Structure 1
Amino acid sequence: MFAYVIPLCLAMLALAVVLNLLRLIEGPDMPDRVLALDTLSINALALIVLLGIWLRSGTFFEVALLIAVMGFVTTVALGKHLLHGDIID
């Protein structure tokens, strides 16, 4: 069953990544681009987790945790920069 489901999920997530990249490039304003970047990091996270399940490797999950933390910090920093102009007060 996993032989069919995981490649299908990988293909759908790859399509989601491509659509996020399009939104990131042609977003009408900066908040849309920040949200596209956050969604892109979440989709990359899901791709890495699925690849880890498919290859039966625990290393991918550690990489996914690092990407999740970096995505959160990046989104907060960009949001603060958009609101206040400075990241560090």
Structure 2
Amino acid sequence: MLVVLYRAVCGPTVLDRLIGVNAIGTKTTVLLILIGLHFHRVEMFVDIALAYALLNFIAVLAASRYFQKRKGLSLAGEDNE
């Protein structure tokens, strides 16, 4: 996760940072499932992991829409509609 954290903090572009944040969220979801397996309470940790994954997905979508509208992440030749 340290390599992905480096990409999320020091990425050369905003897209690299968004992908890094999304990858950290995915790895955290898997880590929550593994913790559930360790404590023999998978049913509880699956609910937490699903809620976290959904929150991560919505947050990355919102951030990508924001940066697409405000920072011009679309291709130079396209119109921003």
Instruction: Give the TM-score normalised by structure 2.
Output: 0.79
Q: State how far apart, in whole Å, the 2-side matches of 1:44 and 1:25 are.
A: 17
What are structure 1's unaligned runs of at least 5 residues?
1-16
Pick from 29, 36, 47 the counterpart of residue 62 of structure 1: 47
State the identity %.
22
Q: State how far apart, in whole Å, the 2-side matches of 1:22 and 1:81 are.
A: 22
Secondary structure at 1:60 match in 2: helix
Is residue 44 of structure 1 aligned with residue 44 of structure 2?
A: no
Backbone CA RMSD of aligned residues = 0.9
Instruction: Give the TM-score normalised by structure 1.
Output: 0.73
What are structure 2's unaligned runs of at least 5 residues?
71-81
Give 4+ residue runs of structure 1 displaced > 4 Å after superposition: none
Query: Once the 2 structures are TM-superposed, how far is the Cα of residue 77 of structure 1 from its aligned partner?
Result: 0.3
Q: Which has the higher helix share?
A: 1
Q: Deviations over 1:13-36 (max 9, x none)?
A: xxxx22211111110011100000
Which structure ranks higher in relative contact order (CA pairs < 8 Å, sequence separation ≥ 6)? 1
